[in-house]
Amino acid sequence: MSNYVPPDDVATRRAPTITRQVNDRLALDLFAQQGPLSRTQVRDILGVSQPTAIDLIKRLESAGHIQPVGEERQTRPGPRAVLYGLVSGRWFVAGANIRDRKISAAIGDLAGGPALETVVHTVDRRPLPDQIVDAITTSIRQAGIPASSIDRTVVGVPGIVDEATGDLGFSWDLPRWRGRLLEPLRQGIASPLQLLNGVQLAAMSEGQADDLRHRRTFALMWVGTGVGLCLMVNGSPLIGASGAAGEIGYTPVPGAPVLPVRPGGGGFEGDLQSLIGAHGLRSLMTDMGFPAGSPGVLLRRAGHSRDERLQGYLGEVARRIAVACASIASVVDPGLFVLQGSTSIAGGVPLAARVEEEFRKMSPLDATVITGRHHEQAELEGALHLGRALARRERWGGDA
């Protein structure tokens, strides 16, 4: 007897399976975003029938993805509906980030929620991969979980991640490890591991805010020790052909001499980094008669003072950042700039407001400027977010 099945019958048989897979993934994403839900709530939000919702809940519970976590609060007499939530405490992700000679690492539950454990190490003389592995393994140990329960690890780096190899490309801060970072990390960490630029991770983290999650585009401008940008398009960072998209610190700008093609021994000069990077803003402090110190400290003071000199410094910093925003807006028109990095966070809302004011003076385009929500560990939060998305794709199937 022939085993041949006509194509139309194959499609007919596949359709219910595909529909179930799609519904399962939609439901799991729903639990991840909204927390515990009843069968009726799942039915109403997904727009499926009651029998389909019942079957879906049974299927996800049998697969070990969800479990009963309580009962629905109810004002009317009668039985209360069971609430289901994602199974927690079983699978985890690890994140790490390198910035300003600090290595931070954290563990997150695949089900979501705040980081379970965060450690911060100061970079020392040991090989950098060993220190990153130590930070990650320390966070795993302190979280009290087995290393085998880590589904995915994401590490943020201050530089370009080569799109072709996935390894560290050009990095001003980590020149020794160009093309040599990924393999030793993978040897020291058992779970699948990948590198991503820290600014891109910060943008992914900021993009989880309710008012940004559904925006088609926005740009995160990083202003701290270094300068960077990430354009988010439909929830994903624009990486570029080689992985170098957003390296705006190397952009020649008005008011500065043209930079050399290759960095000299003392670093690039005459680019955007020299105007709004920490070194450039310290030079501005000296030029304006302030004693040597931290630009962030001065910007915090300016945000709470009417002193003309302090306001003058705040205004000039804002003007310089606005030059960068106007240049970027003329090319990609993001509509919204999120300011991140130590300088941006120190300046806070007053700096963001002044940047938007200066932007509108120099550009006919429309853009709003706001301060980032994550003040300390935006890149680390982004690493955990990306790790969860990748691990969920493996565990749950389909796209996030």
Tokens 């790790």 — which residue? 387
Please give the pLDDT value at position 255. Answer: 61
Please name the helix (run of DSSP H) or strand (run of DSSP E) that holds residue 250, with its range, or none.
Answer: none
Q: What is the residue extent of each domain of the chain?
A: 7-86, 92-203+379-396, 210-372
Please give the pLDDT value at position 355. Answer: 98
What is the average pLDDT across 53-65?
95
Closest by alpha carbon to 169, among 232, 233, 245? Answer: 245
Tell me what the pLDDT averaged over the chain comes to: 90
Give the Cα separation of 65 and 395 in Å (integer).
Answer: 9
Please give the pLDDT value at position 266. Answer: 46
Q: How does residue 262 score in pLDDT terms, banded at 50, 70 and 90?
A: low
How many residues are present in the chain? 400
Statement: residue 2 has pLDDT above 50: no
Give the Cα separation of 85 and 121 in Å (integer).
Answer: 35
Statement: residue 267 has pLDDT above 60: no
Statement: residue 128 has pLDDT above 70: yes
Give the Cα separation of 349 and 86 in Å (integer).
Answer: 37
Percent of the chain with pLDDT over 70: 90
Tokens 């994903």 — which residue? 236
Please give the pLDDT value at position 250. Answer: 87
Fold of 7-86: Arc Repressor Mutant, subunit A (1.10.10)
Q: Between residues 77 and 281, which one has the greater pLDDT?
A: 281
Tokens 């980081």 — which residue? 115
Please give the pLDDT value at position 258. Answer: 54
Task: List pLDDT tens digits, range 313-346.
Answer: 999 999 999 999 999 999 999 999 999 999 999 9
Closest by alpha carbon to 171, among 271, 277, 99? Answer: 99
Statement: residue 10 has pLDDT above 50: no
Tokens 């007499």 — which residue? 77
Give the Cα separation of 261 and 258 in Å (integer).
Answer: 9
Q: How does residue 271 score in pLDDT terms, banded at 50, 70 and 90?
A: confident
Give the Cα separation of 80 and 56 in Å (integer).
Answer: 20
Least confident of 104-113, 134-143, 253-262: 253-262
What is the average pLDDT across 257-272?
56
Q: How does residue 399 score in pLDDT terms, banded at 50, 70 and 90?
A: low
Query: At 152, which amino acid appears?
Result: R
* Superfamily in which the 210-372 domain is placed by CATH: ATPase, nucleotide binding domain (3.30.420.40)
Statement: residue 270 has pLDDT above 90: no
Statement: residue 41 has pLDDT above 80: yes
Q: How does residue 195 score in pLDDT terms, banded at 50, 70 and 90?
A: very high
Q: How does residue 374 score in pLDDT terms, banded at 50, 70 and 90?
A: confident
What is the average pLDDT across 287-300?
95
What is the average pLDDT across 34-40?
94
Query: At 210, which amino acid appears?
Result: D
Q: Between residues 261 and 47, which one has the greater pLDDT?
A: 47
Task: Please give the full DSSP string across 344-359, using - where no structure is assigned.
Answer: HHHHHHHHHHHHHHHH
CATH topology match: 92-203+379-396 vs 210-372: yes
Please give the pLDDT value at position 8. Answer: 52
Residue pair 341/377 in contact (Cβ under 8 Å)? The answer is: no
Q: How does residue 6 score in pLDDT terms, banded at 50, 70 and 90?
A: very low
Bridge pairing between strands 217-223 and 193-197: unpaired
Angle between helices 308-332 and 342-362 (to 10 degrees): 70
Residue 89 DSSP code: S
Closest by alpha carbon to 384, among 124, 191, 201? Answer: 201
Percent of the chain with pLDDT over 90: 80
Least confident of 47-56, 66-75, 105-114, 204-213: 66-75
* Superfamily in which the 92-203+379-396 domain is placed by CATH: ATPase, nucleotide binding domain (3.30.420.40)
Q: How does residue 269 score in pLDDT terms, banded at 50, 70 and 90?
A: low
Residue pair 136/129 in contact (Cβ under 8 Å)? The answer is: no
Please give the pLDDT value at position 5. Answer: 44
Residue pair 384/108 in contact (Cβ under 8 Å)? The answer is: yes
Statement: residue 278 has pLDDT above 70: yes
Please give the pLDDT value at position 212. Answer: 92
